Amino acid sequence: MEEKKVLEELRRYRERDLKYEEGRILGSMCTKPHPISRKVLEMFLETNLGDPGLFPGTKGLEEEVIKMIGEMLHNRNPFGYIISGGTEANITALRVVKKMARERGKREVNILIPESAHFSFEKAREMMDLKYEKIPLDKRYTMDVKYLRDYIEDKGKDVDGIVAIAGSTELGTVDNIPEISKVAREYNIYIHVDGAFGGFVIPFLEERYRLEGYNYNFDFSLDNVFSITVDPHKMGLAPIPAGGILFRDISFKRYLEVEAPYLTETSQATLVGTRPGFGVAATWAIMKLLGPEGYREIVSQCMENTYYLVRRMKEYSFESVIDPVLNIVAIRDENPLDTSLKLRKMGWYLSTCRCVEALRVVMMPHITREHIDKFIEALARCKKR
């Protein structure tokens, strides 16, 4: 095919995709990447962090990004990688938990995990043959810490790790990690925090939470939080793929390393071998351009839109399952699957919850008030209100 024809064909396929700026993508945790990403992609297109000795510049950027995210999470000496996404990050953390348990002579690896955990943990469980105890949620839809404590008091020695969530996929709830940390310290248990979504939101809402009297701390300042998933390609505005896994310090590296012949380095710690550098470079560029102030502004805007949606819902007697903690709204609905399918036919793409009968809307930066107004009218029409 001639290049012109190839590009024409590609354009035709691409036209079938939805566009974030049209405001119809309401269920995604990704958004239109920051515009600088295009330039970065061109510059870093061929870089491969699977062999960092060939790309020491790009590797240097990755180290700086990990340091910058570490600072956001109150850790000056983190160790980690910018990888394919939250799934790989969570799997990577549990690889460490498993190896540590094996070194203690454990055959079965027991992990406590809230009902609200993302399905990536199910993949990790299958792959690594982990044993999970699902911890129920309390009335705020966060991990029931009393249940957790009772369980550990009963079976403390058997527990190898706890997974806690900072920004649940369905409702955007944040587990009571300060309390979980106390229990974990007492029994010397590893905590992995999944902040894939919340990691680029919660640090920029500190002021608001302080005023409202909440303690949503989830980071390395808490004892026994040894790893955190934080995805730049969600609220960090980075292009896909840019997930993040951070460990408390370099001492965790050895649990991940496998011997690697043929490379410029003698070992490899990431799950994926050949991996792109442009997501890393773009994350570096966006973090430098926006700075904490830039992110604070974006997050505030998303939260304002979240509250605006809840206000507009009330006008039509739609109810929010919880007072939103992050920029996610769950709209009570007696038949969410059916409603979401009807809405899809009307051109609105949102998802449903599993833990409660509700529709789920994520107020990502590409959503404006005009989009919200149009959506709420469509929802009202759909539900005949």
Q: Packing angle between helix 278-315 and helix 369-382, nearest 10 degrees?
A: 50
Distance CA 383, CA 332 (A): 12
What DSSP character marks residue 112? E
Q: Segment near ligand EBR (CB under 6 A), from 68-76, 143-151, 190-198, 331-339?
A: 190-198
Q: Segment near ligand EBR (CB under 6 A), from 92-100, 189-197, 205-213, 283-291?
A: 189-197
Distance CA 164, CA 182 (A): 13
Residue 160 binds to ligand EBR (criterion: CB under 6 A): no
Distance CA 240, CA 252 (A): 26
Helices H / strands E in the chain, number of each = 11, 12
Residue 29 binds to ligand EBR (criterion: CB under 6 A): yes
Closest to ligand EBR by CB, 152 or 198: 198
Closest to ligand EBR by CB, 175 or 231: 231
Residue 231 binds to ligand EBR (criterion: CB under 6 A): yes
Q: Segment near ligand EBR (CB under 6 A), from 79-87, 201-209, 284-292, 365-373?
A: 79-87
How many residues are recorded in the chain?
A: 385
Closest to ligand EBR by CB, 28 or 301: 28
Structure tokens at 197: 């979504």
Closest to ligand EBR by CB, 222 or 362: 362
Report yes or no: 303 and 325 within 8 Å, Cβ to Cβ: no
Structure tokens at 309: 């949606």
Residue 175 binds to ligand EBR (criterion: CB under 6 A): no
Minimum Å distance from CB 265 to ligand EBR?
A: 25
Of the candidates 196, 228, 245, 364, which one interacts with ligand EBR according to CB under 6 A?
196
Structure tokens at 84: 């394919």
H/E element, 246: strand 243-247
Of the candidates 141, 197, 200, 252, which one interacts with ligand EBR according to CB under 6 A?
197
Of the candidates 23, 33, 80, 85, which one interacts with ligand EBR according to CB under 6 A?
85
Pairing of strands 243-247, 225-229: antiparallel
Closest to ligand EBR by CB, 19 or 102: 19
Distance CA 172, CA 368 (A): 19
H/E element, 159: strand 159-165
Q: Which amino acid is at 1?
A: M
Q: How many residues make contact with ligand EBR (CB under 6 A)?
A: 16
Show Cβ contacts of residue 251 under 8 Å, excluding neighbours closer than 6 positions: 79
Residue 348 binds to ligand EBR (criterion: CB under 6 A): no
Structure tokens at 44: 């870093």
Closest to ligand EBR by CB, 89 or 152: 89
Structure tokens at 60: 């240097």
Q: What angle do CA 350, 215, 91 make, to 5 degrees?
A: 55
Residue 33 binds to ligand EBR (criterion: CB under 6 A): no
Q: Please tell me the number of Cα atoms within 13 Å of 2 on its side-chain side.
A: 3
Residue 243 binds to ligand EBR (criterion: CB under 6 A): yes
Minimum Å distance from CB 117 to ligand EBR?
A: 8
Minimum Å distance from CB 50 to ligand EBR?
A: 19
CA pseudo-torsion sign 81, 218, 350, 113: positive
Given the structure tokens 């590009």, which residue do they identify? 7
Of the candidates 51, 144, 194, 219, which one interacts with ligand EBR according to CB under 6 A?
194
Closest to ligand EBR by CB, 184 or 245: 245
Minimum Å distance from CB 196 to ligand EBR?
A: 3
Residue 268 binds to ligand EBR (criterion: CB under 6 A): no
Residue 120 binds to ligand EBR (criterion: CB under 6 A): yes
Of the candidates 37, 58, 87, 306, which one interacts with ligand EBR according to CB under 6 A?
87
- Cα dist. 10→2, 6, 15, 329 in Å? 12, 6, 9, 35
Residue 118 binds to ligand EBR (criterion: CB under 6 A): yes
Residue 172 binds to ligand EBR (criterion: CB under 6 A): no
Closest to ligand EBR by CB, 126 or 259: 126
Residues that bind ligand EBR (CB under 6 A): 27-30, 85-87, 90, 118, 120, 169, 194, 196-197, 231, 243
